[in-house]
Chain A
Amino acid sequence: DAGITQSPRYKITETGRQVTLMCHQTWSHSYMFWYRQDLGHGLRLIYYSAAADITDKGEVPDGYVVSRSKTENFPLTLESATRSQTSVYFCASSELAGGSRNEQFFGPGTRLTVL
C-alpha cells in the first residue's frame, strides 16, 4: 500500500535548468495538488487537477507547468529554475473536492534547492 509517493526526495539544481518533480498515487483519487511550503508562508497551492487531462492554476503558478495524462501521476516541471523556487514541494490527493471525503493526503515532500 504505497499511497502517495514523490521523487526525488531531495534535489539540487542550478538556475536556468529544467527540473521535474514526480508524484504518484495508488488510490485512484480524482484530485491531485501541488503545494510549496516556505518559511513565513503557509502551504501555497501551485496547481491542481480534478481528473486526468484537467488542470488549473492555484495561487502561485508562475514558472511551473503540470500535466496529468494518467490519473495516478501528476508531475510538476520547473521550466527554468530560479533561486526563489527553492522550497519544499508537497504533492497531495483527495477523493473528492467536497464533503467528508475531501481530506487531502500528502506525499513526503521534495526538498528542492536552486543554486
Chain B
Amino acid sequence: QITLKESGPTLVKPTQTLTLTCTFSGFSLSTSGVGVGWIRQPPGKALEWLALIYWDDDKRYSPSLKSRLTITKDTSKNQVVLTMTNMDPVDTATYYCAHILLYYDILTGYSPGYFDYWGQGTVVTVSS
C-alpha cells in the first residue's frame, strides 16, 4: 500500500525559503523507474506541477520556477524534500507530493509518467 504525506511550515514570510518534506511508504526510491513529484494548487485554482525526482537522482523542474526550486531525496529515510526560495504571497497554496513512474513510449522515448498516488497535501500561506 503506497502512502505519502507532506509536512512543513503552514506560514512563511515573504522572501523566506520554504522547505517541505514528503515522507512515503509502500515503495522505494531506489527501485528503477520510481519517482516522486511535487504539485501545488493555489486556493480555487488549478494544479501546477513543480518538480520531479527519480530513483537515479534525475531531477526535473517547472521552467517557470526552476530558479527557485531544489528537490532532493533521502532513500534511507523514504523522504523527498522540496525547497522554494524567495517566497511570495502568490505562492500561497496547497502543496502535494505524489508517486510517479517513469514512462516509456516506443516513439518518443522516456517521459515523466502520471501521478498515481497522492499525499493529502499541506497548506502553506505566505504572509508577513
Partners in one complex: no
User: Which residues of B come within 8 Å of A, CB atoms?
Assistant: none
